[in-house]
Structure 1
Amino acid sequence: MDALERYRGCLLGLAVGDAVGTTLEFRPQGTFEPIDDMLGGGPFALQVGEWTDDTSMALCLAASLVECGTFDARDQMRRYLLWRDEGYMASNGMCFDIGGTVAAALHIFERTGNPFVGSLDPATAGNGSLMRLAPIPLFYANQPERAIEQAANSSRTTHGAATAVDACRYFAGLIIGALQGQTKEELLSPYYSPVSSSWEDRPLAPEIAAIAAGSFKTRNPPQIRGTGYVVNSLEAALWAFYSSATFRDGCLLAVNLGDDADTTGAIYGQLAGAFYGEKEIPRSWREKIALRDIMISLSQQLLSHASPV
C-alpha cells in the first residue's frame, strides 16, 4: 500500500468516524439501538456526512502545518479561533460544538497571546486534543521522535493535563507505526513505540501506560466506555481496533459505545484509516464526507512535507 493511501485513510478515517458517531453523541451506553450505517442527525441535526469539532480542529491543525511549513502553536490557536468565530473548516459553515476545555484555552489565548494555555488540572483531561491529532504524525512521519514531541505540544495548547498530553504522545507513535505498515499484532504489543526506549526515557502517565500495556485486550463494555475522559476514549478506540478486522466493523464498535461517540469514532478512525488505507473505508461513507476534497488535498500536502515512509 502506498503512503498516500494511508495518509488519505488517516484523515478521512477521522472524519468518517466523527460523522458516523455524531448520530449517537451524548446517548448513554446501552440506552439505544445500535446503528450500522452513517445516518446523520444526532444532537446537532447534521446532514449525512457532516461532522463535528473533532474534524474541524484536525483540519485547522493540518492547514497550519502545511501553510506554515512547521509547528506554529500561535497559528494553530488563531485558526481554532477562526473556526470558533467564523466557521472556518466547519462541515456546515458554523461552529456548533466546542468543548469547555478548548473554549477556556482559546479565551486565555485571546487575552494573553500565549498559545500553551491548556489547563494542567487532571479534571480537564478530556479527549479534545487526541481527537484532532492525526496531522502531527502525518507531517512528522519521517521523524518519529519529533512527532511524539510535537504531539505533546499540540495537546498543550488546549489540554495540558498529563494524561491528555501522554495519550497524544502514545497515539502519535501508533499512527506512525501504522503508516510504516506494522502489523496489528505489533502495533498493539505492550508499550509499542516506533522509537526505541521512548517510554523508558520519558515514562507515560500511569493511566496511559496501563492502556499501552494492553488493558483494552482484557476488558469489554460496560468496562470499556466511550466517554469524554481521554483515558476512557483512548482505551475504547483501541478496544474497537483490536476487536475487529475491518474499518467498518471497528468503527461501528467504537460509536455504538455511545456517550462521546463521535470522538471515539474519530480517534479510532485516525489509526484504523492509516492501518487499512482509504480504500478499506466503505465507499458509501467516504464519498458522503463534507469537505472531502479539502481532506484529500491536505493529505497530499502533508505527505509532501514528510519523506515517504
Structure 2
Amino acid sequence: MTTTAGAAPALWSRADQQDFRARVRGTLLGGAIGDALGAGIEFQSLDAIRAAHGPQGVDDYVPAYGRRGAVTDDTQMTMFTVDGLIRAHVRRDTGAWHPPTDVHRAHLRWAATQREWGPDERRPDAGWLAREEWLYAQRAPGNACLDGLADDRMGTLEAPKNPESKGCGAVMRSAPFGLLAGWEPELVFQLAAECAVQTHGHVTGYLAAGAFAVVIHGVVRGDGLRASVDRALTLLAGRPGHEETTAAIRQALAAVSAGPPTAERVESLGQGWVAEEALAMGLYCALVAEDMRHGLLLAVNHGGDSDSTGSLCGNILGALHGETALPPAWLAELEGRATLLQLADDFAMELTQGPALHSPSGSSAAWLARYPRV
C-alpha cells in the first residue's frame, strides 16, 4: 500500500479496509486507555504508588479529574491531530496541499478549548470535533504546547517554536502520522517532525516524534514492531542531532534483553517527561508486553509521566493488535469512547474512500460540514 504523499492506495480490498480500521481504532483507543490508566498516578513516585495500591502498583483505573477513565491532554491533542490530517485531505480538492498547516490549525482549535468555556457555534471552521463539549477541559496541558499555540505563527524546522523544549508533548500526539499507511516512511517522519516544531523546537523533541510516527506506521502496515523500530533507527541516522534519540531507543532495546520486565527496569530508561525518555519507555513496554493489559500496566507503574508513557505504549500495542485486543472493562469506562470511535472511523473512511466523499466535482455536504475546507 505505497503511494505518493496524500494519495490513497490504488486499491483497498474489503479485508484491507477492515484491518486498517481495526488498527486505527486500536491506536486511538489504546492510547487513550493508557493515558487514562496513568492519569491518576502521574507525579507520584513508584514507592508512593505501591504504598497506595499494593506491591504490583495500580491494576485498574484510578480516579482522576473527578472520574474513572478520564483522559488528559495527550488524548485531546492526538484527536485534534487526526482532525487536522482529515482536513488536509479534504482541502486538497481546492488545490491546497500543506498538511503541516492543517494540523497547526487543528492544534489551534485544541488550544482554544483550553481557554474558552465551550464551543463557539459562530466559527465556520470549527467542524464537529471542536463542538464536543467534553473536550473543553484542562487536563494538565504542557506549557510548551500552550506557549507554542498562543499565537497564530506556525513553527517550522527553520524557525521552530520553543527551540529549547524537548518535552514529550510532541511525541504524545504523533501516532496519527503513522496511520498514513499509504505514505512512504520518510514522508511520515518528515511530517511528524514538521508538526512537532510547532510547539517543541529542540532537535530531540521533533526527532523523537518522527521516530515514534515511523514505528506506528510500520506496525500498521504489518511490518512487525522490532522491524519498525529498526526502520526508525535507520531514518534517524541520517538526521543531524539524532544521537540523543537514537541512544534512548537503543537503551530500550538493550533493556528488553536484560531480564524480565519490571517497574525498576522501566525506570532505568528515565521518567518520561522529556521526549526521548517517553519514547524509550513506551517502546520498551510494548516490546516486552505479554498482552495489552500487561504492557499498559507496566507502562504506567513508575515514578514519572505515567499518562504519556501509557499513551505511547497503548498507541503501539493498539496499532499492532487492533481494537479487539483492548481490555473490554477498561474500554467500557473510557471517557470519550464514542467520540474516539467516530474519529477513528472517519479517518479510516477518509483514507480508504476519500474520493467517494469529496472531489472537485462533487462532495458530500455532510462530510464537509464535519470537516470544512476553510
Task: Say whether the fold is shared (TM-score over 0.5).
Answer: yes
The CA distance in 2 between the partners of 1:276 and 1:150, in whole Å, is 25
Decide which moves more: 32-41 or 279-288: 32-41
Is 1:83 paired with 2:123?
no
Q: Superposition pairs for residues 84-233 of structure 1, below 5 Å? A: 84-86=114-116, 88=130, 91=134, 93-107=136-150, 109-110=151-152, 113-116=153-156, 117-121=160-164, 124-138=165-179, 140-143=180-183, 144-188=185-229, 191-193=230-232, 198-202=235-239, 205-218=242-255, 220-233=265-278
Cα distance in 2 for partners of 1:259, 1:68 equals 35
**CA shift in 2, pair 1:77/1:186, >3 Å:** closer
Residue aligning to 2:305: 260
CA shift for structure 1 position 83 = 2.1
How far does the alpha carbon of each residue in 1:23-80 deviate from its partner, in whole angstroms, 9 at most, with x for none? Answer: 1111123322210012323xxx331121110001111111122134244244133212
Counterpart amino acid of residue 40 in structure 2: T
Q: Identity over the aligned pairs, expressed in percent?
A: 26
8 Å Cα contact 2:68-2:333 kept in structure 1:
yes
Equivalent residue, structure 2, for 1:241? 286
Query: Which shows bigger deviation, 57-66 or 15-24?
Result: 57-66
Q: Which has the larger radius of gyration?
A: 2
2:40–2:62 contact (8 Å) kept in structure 1: yes
Paired residues of 1:234 and 1:267 also in contact (CA < 8 A): yes
Q: Look up the match of 1:278.
A: 323
Tell me the residue number matched to 2:43.
26
Shift of 1:201: 3.6
Q: Distance in 2 between matches of 1:90 and 1:155?
A: 26
- Post-superposition shift, 1:136? 1.6
Letter in 1 for 2:182: N
Matched, 1:51 2:71: yes
Normalising by structure 2, report the TM-score: 0.73
TM-score norm. by structure 1 comes to 0.87
Note if contact 2:163-2:202 (Cα within 8 Å) is conserved in structure 1. yes
Deviation at 1:293, TM superposition (A): 1.7
Maintained 8 Å contact 1:142/1:307: no
**Where do 5+ consecutive residues of structure 2 fail to align?**
1-17, 51-56, 90-98, 119-129, 259-264, 354-374
1:12, distance to aligned residue in structure 2 (A)? 0.4
Cα drift, residue 204 of structure 1: 6.0
Q: Residues of 2 paired with 1:255 and 1:225: CA distance?
A: 13
Aligned match of 1:16 in 25, 28, 33? Answer: 33
* Runs of 5+ unmatched residues, structure 1: none
Contact 2:289/2:295 (8 A) holds in 1: yes
Q: Do the aligned partners of residues 131 and 200 (structure 1) sit closer, same or farther apart at CA in structure 2, a change above 3 Å counting?
A: closer
In structure 2, the partner of 1:6 is 23
Amino acid at match of 1:212: I
Deviation for aligned residue 1:91: 4.7
**C-alpha distance after superposition, 1:125-163 (max 9, x if no partner):** 10001111122221x221032211110011011011100
CA contact (8 A) 1:141 1:307 kept: no
Q: Secondary structure at the match of 1:142?
A: coil
